[in-house]
Structure 1
Amino acid sequence: MIKKETLDFLKELAQNNNRDWFMANKARHDAARENVIEFAALIIKEIGKSDPDINTEADPKKCVLRIYRDIRFSPDKTPYKKNFGITIPRQHPNGSRGSEYYVQIEPGNSFVAGGYWMPEGNHLKAIRQEIDYNAQELKDIVDAPEFVKLFGHFREQEKLKTNPRDYAADNENIELLKLKSFVAWRKLTDAEVVKKDLVAKVASLCNHIYPLNLFLNNAIV
């Protein structure tokens, strides 16, 4: 589970997002990061029980994103993220980017997600083609009552304002084809984050996302 001390550190970091405070509390950061790495190791093993495309031998340290922000092109010059992010990629046959799972730990803004966020051009084209050819399979996944209960309405994420090239306005699946990302996510409360059953809860959510990830990865093979 995630320790209360980890959330406390992140809360205080959000209020004191500067190098002097961070360096004075570097030991707390290191302890919090180690807590998240230990959690990531458990998650990787647990998800791997039901998703054969997860490398259960992956180094959890490499799955936990750095807390340092890239401020070169951002108007926000605060140097540190207010969260710990865990990205768990699925192995793709050709080694390219594909669908994945993501867990964010942030006071008041923790969540579990999966799918493919903002696919690169050739992958987006392939996913749209798969939707056009095989939309019912995707609908069966994202319209299932349990999926909607857990993750809300899949179609209600960022879309193109106009129809994508090569697809007509009267295409019965045009709203799915206009999606820019293909993501399912669910928020976690702070109380849920520090409970002992967090690993089981996150793994269960990822198991429900697995059919979506499989559909997306199959589209870009």
Structure 2
Amino acid sequence: MPSANRKSPSAPAKESKKAKTSPAAPDKKKSNSPAAPAAAAASSSACRRLKRETLGFLESLKKNNDSEWVKANKKIYDAAKLDWQAFVISLLGELSKTEKALKNYPAGKAIFKMSRDLRFSNDKTPYKTSFSMAVNYEGDKKSNVPCYYLAVGPDELMIAGGLYFPPTALLDKVRKKIAEDPAGFKKMISSANFKKHFGSDPFKENDRLKTAPKGFEKDHPDINLLRLKSMHVSAVMDKKSSPIAKATGGDFLAFVIETFKALAPYNHWLCSALGLDPSVPAIS
């Protein structure tokens, strides 16, 4: 996920509001009527891409990442959030057609807040500079179960999933299943569709243990897989690949769904390793 720019300790004092960059206004002003969110939800079926103004807001936020600027541009901020919400509603509707467990998944439970947790960070900029969401098979985006993840920002577009740094108890279950059928696991992650989206070495960026995990020999033929500390995979478009153009042009929704469909067999395999049934609704 794109990270916010850090402010240099030697940076000059804040500019006045007038001197700061203001994003271009959206096509339509956000209504102050209580029915506005409902209207966005009602029209979400036609939301196939994000508005250019939404990414424009994120670009401006990178340059003006403070509460004062966001407060001064609240209408534009709210319009961008509504656009993102409408897209996520459309995305969940499409995804639930093949992932029955995700039927009726509320967008509010999937969307991450824009505010950053500053408690343990040296970077004190208050807002993320990307919109992000995640859904999983337990209905809680913070649960340690297989998930689908999307983050969209001006500098990076990430579509990801799997298990992100699960606790040892869950990771041991995954390792055991890999050891039981390494050929089947390798065949799955080597399929043409999976490789098309996540590469021929989907775990190359993932952290690994320095030695063999407990219960496995150092010379195990699949020790490189068994040493993995995280089982997530991701497809990333950096700034050189024009993430803004991808998110705001053409059928971005179809692009994300296509990638999620390529991820589905892997997520289902992980579910089976953890004893989860991916057909059981996450939201009852």
TM-score, normalised on structure 1? 0.93
2:64 match: 16
1:194 match: 248
CA distance in 1, matches of 2:166, 2:184: 20
Question: What is the CA-CA distance between 1:210 and the residue it aligns to?
Answer: 0.3
CA distance in 2, matches of 1:36, 1:51: 21
Question: What is the CA-CA distance between 1:84 and the residue it aligns to?
Answer: 0.8
CA distance in 2, matches of 1:15, 1:88: 30
Structure 1 segment 77-116 matched on structure 2, within 5 A? 77-91=124-138, 97-116=144-163
Question: What is the CA-CA distance between 1:196 and the residue it aligns to?
Answer: 3.7
Residue 74 of structure 2 aligns with an amino acid whose one-letter code is K
CA distance in 2, matches of 1:139, 1:36: 36
Q: Does structure 2 conserve the Cα–Cα contact (< 8 Å) formed by 1:155 and 1:175? A: no
Question: What is the CA-CA distance between 1:62 and the residue it aligns to?
Answer: 2.0
1:96-141 superposed Cα distances (whole Å, 9 cap, x missing partner): 6310100001112111111111112211111111111122222111
CA distance in 1, matches of 2:83, 2:137: 23
Q: What count of residue pairs does the alignment treat as equivalent?
A: 217
Question: What is the CA-CA distance between 1:155 and the residue it aligns to?
Answer: 3.1
| Structure 1 gap segments, 5+ residues each | none
SS of 1:53 mapped into structure 2: helix
RMSD (Å) for aligned C-alpha atoms:
1.5
CA distance in 1, matches of 2:121, 2:83: 29
1:124-179 superposed Cα distances (whole Å, 9 cap, x missing partner): 11111111112222211111233222211123122122221111121111111111
CA distance in 2, matches of 1:199, 1:79: 29
1:137 match: 184
1:159-217 superposed Cα distances (whole Å, 9 cap, x missing partner): 12222111112111111111111122212422111124111110110000001100111
CA distance in 1, matches of 2:169, 2:83: 37
CA distance in 2, matches of 1:58, 1:140: 31
1:120 match: 167
1:206 to 2:255 alignment: no
Q: Does structure 1 conserve the Cα–Cα contact (< 8 Å) formed by 2:165 and 2:230? A: yes
1:65 pairs with one of 102, 108, 112: 112
1:47-77 superposed Cα distances (whole Å, 9 cap, x missing partner): 11122222x2111122110000010111111
2:269 match: 215
Which of structure 1's runs of 4+ aligned residues deviate more than 4 A?
none
CA distance in 1, matches of 2:110, 2:182: 32
| Structure 2 gap segments, 5+ residues each | 1-48, 238-242, 276-284
Q: Which moved more, 1:193-202 or 1:137-146?
A: 137-146
Rg larger in structure: 2
Residue 206 of structure 1 aligns with an amino acid whose one-letter code is F
1:29-58 superposed Cα distances (whole Å, 9 cap, x missing partner): 11111111111111111111122222x211
Q: Does structure 1 conserve the Cα–Cα contact (< 8 Å) formed by 2:132 and 2:151? A: yes
2:33 match: none
CA distance in 2, matches of 1:65, 1:155: 25
2:219 match: 170
CA distance in 2, matches of 1:71, 1:155: 29
TM-score, normalised on structure 2? 0.73
